[in-house]
C-alpha cells in the first residue's frame, strides 16, 4: 500500500487566496483525521471523519476553514481566505475504526501564507 497520500507537499500562497489541501487515506481505513502542526501550538486536531461523516470539528479554527470527505478515498481541507497565521504543516492521518487504533500519517503539506 502506498500509505496516506497528501498533496501538495508544499504550498506558498498570498494572503487572501484560497488554499485546498488533499488527502487520500489508506485503502480500507474508514477514519480520517486532519491535524495542524505549528511551532507555537505543536500538533492539534482540526477535524476527524468516520465513514465519511464529520464526527468532531471543534478544532477547526474558524469559518475560514472547511473540510469535506465526499467518499472513502478522498478528503479536502480548504482555507478561504488564507491568512499568514495559517502557515503550518497540515497532516492527514487514517486508521481503521472500532476503538483506539494506530494512526498512519501522511507526509504533510507545508503551507506558507505570505
Partner 1 sequence: KNEVEQSPQNLTAQEGEFITINCSYSVGISALHWLQQHPGGGIVSLFMLSSGKKKHGRLIATINIQEKHSSLHITASHPRDSAVYICAVSGSARQLTFGSGTQLTVLP
Round to whole Å and give the CA distance between 98 and 90.
25
Residue whose CB is less far from partner 1, 45 or 72: 45
Residue whose CB is less far from partner 1, 97 or 114: 97
For residue 58, give every residue at least 6 positions away whose Cβ sits within 8 Å of its Cβ, in sequence order, or none: none
- Classify residue 114 as exposed, middle or buried by CB count within 10 Å of its CB (0-12, 13-18, 19+): exposed
Shortest Cβ 89–partner 1 spacing (Å):
6
Shortest Cβ 78–partner 1 spacing (Å):
20
Cis omega (within 30 of 0) for bond into 8? yes
Could you list the residues that contact partner 1 (CB under 8 A)? Answer: 31, 33, 35, 42-45, 48, 50, 55-56, 89, 91, 93, 95, 97, 99-105, 107-108, 110
What nine digits make up the cell of 16?
Answer: 487572501
Residue whose CB is less far from partner 1, 16 or 61: 61
Shortest Cβ 16–partner 1 spacing (Å):
27
Residue whose CB is less far from partner 1, 86 or 91: 91
Round to whole Å and give the CA distance between 10 and 108.
9
Amino acid at each position: 500500500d502506498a500509505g496516506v497520500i497528501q498533496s501538495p507537499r508544499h504550498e506558498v500562497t498570498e494572503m487572501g487566496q484560497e488554499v485546498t489541501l488533499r488527502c487520500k487515506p489508506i485503502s480500507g481505513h474508514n477514519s480520517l483525521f486532519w491535524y495542524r502542526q505549528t511551532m507555537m501550538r505543536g500538533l492539534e486536531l482540526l477535524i476527524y471523519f468516520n465513514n465519511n461523516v464529520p464526527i468532531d470539528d471543534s478544532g477547526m479554527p474558524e469559518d475560514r476553514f472547511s473540510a469535506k470527505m465526499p467518499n472513502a478515498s478522498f478528503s479536502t481541507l480548504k482555507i478561504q481566505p488564507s491568512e499568514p497565521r495559517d502557515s503550518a504543516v497540515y497532516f492527514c492521518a487514517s486508521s481503521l475504526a472500532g476503538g483506539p487504533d494506530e494512526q498512519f500519517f501522511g507526509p504533510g503539506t507545508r503551507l506558507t501564507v505570505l
